[in-house]
Amino acid sequence: MIQKTLKLIKEQIGLDLKLCPDFTGIKQRKGQKYFNVVLKERTSESKDFDKLKKFANKYNAINIEPNGLTRVAIFPKQ
């Protein structure tokens, strides 16, 4: 599920996201599965985060939430 989602993001918006080394694998919050990626900049200042938000809103294939200073939680839609 992780690799499939990362591949979709790379194909659609060109972002090559890296998994978070501290919080690996699939996690669960409020019954929803998610995984973490790390951005190069703070989420509040990141153009990559803005791209992810636009992709999530437009195609409804994922949901995203900031999950730390540079970490983003990605919730794939199944």
pLDDT in tens, 46-68: 999 999 999 999 999 999 999 99
Report if residue 13 sits inside a domain.
Answer: yes
Cβ of 39: how many Cβ atoms within 10 Å? 22
Question: What is d(CA 67, CA 39) in angstroms, rounded to the nearest whole number?
Answer: 11
* pLDDT at residue 71 tops 90: yes
Q: Which amino acid is at 30?
A: K
Mean pLDDT of the chain: 95
Range of the domain at 21: 1-34+49-68
Residue 29 pairs in a beta bridge with 32
What is the value of pTM for the model shown?
A: 0.93
**Structure tokens belonging to residue 66:** 């900031």
> Hey, is 33 helix, strand or coil?
strand
* pLDDT at residue 31 tops 80: yes
Report if residue 8 sits inside a domain.
Answer: yes
What pLDDT does residue 60 have? 92
What pLDDT does residue 45 have? 95
Question: What is d(CA 50, CA 3) in angstroms, rounded to the nearest whole number?
Answer: 21
Report the number of distinct structural domains present in the chain: 1
